[in-house]
Amino acid sequence: MVMLIQVAAAFMAIAAFSVAMEVPKEYLPYCGCIGAAGWFVYLIVLQLMGMIAANVFATAIFCSTPWKRQRTSSRMRSTRP
């Protein structure tokens, strides 16, 4: 029951953050679902493997996101005078 409440709170928190970042309204449910799913996976890993493994897992996922690599590589290819 506690896990369900935490996942629902993660959904609401990400949706609220998305509103603050001016995400278009049609994408708010998607943002909330992604945030809730991510928190759910984190909670499952936390229960199965412990605190250190869950934190390493979360860090690895965050550091391997494609948007970070794409943003960094586009900055490196900038041809400003």
Q: What is the mean pLDDT of each run of 10 residues along the chain (81 residues)?
A: 94 94 92 92 86 82 64 52 55
Sequence-distant (6+) residues with CB within 8 A of 34 are 14
Evaluate if pTM is beyond 0.85: no
Q: Cα dihedral sign for 9, 11, 15, 17?
A: positive
| pLDDT of 77 | 53
- Residue 73 identity (one-letter amino acid): S
Sequence-distant (6+) residues with CB within 8 A of 12 are 32
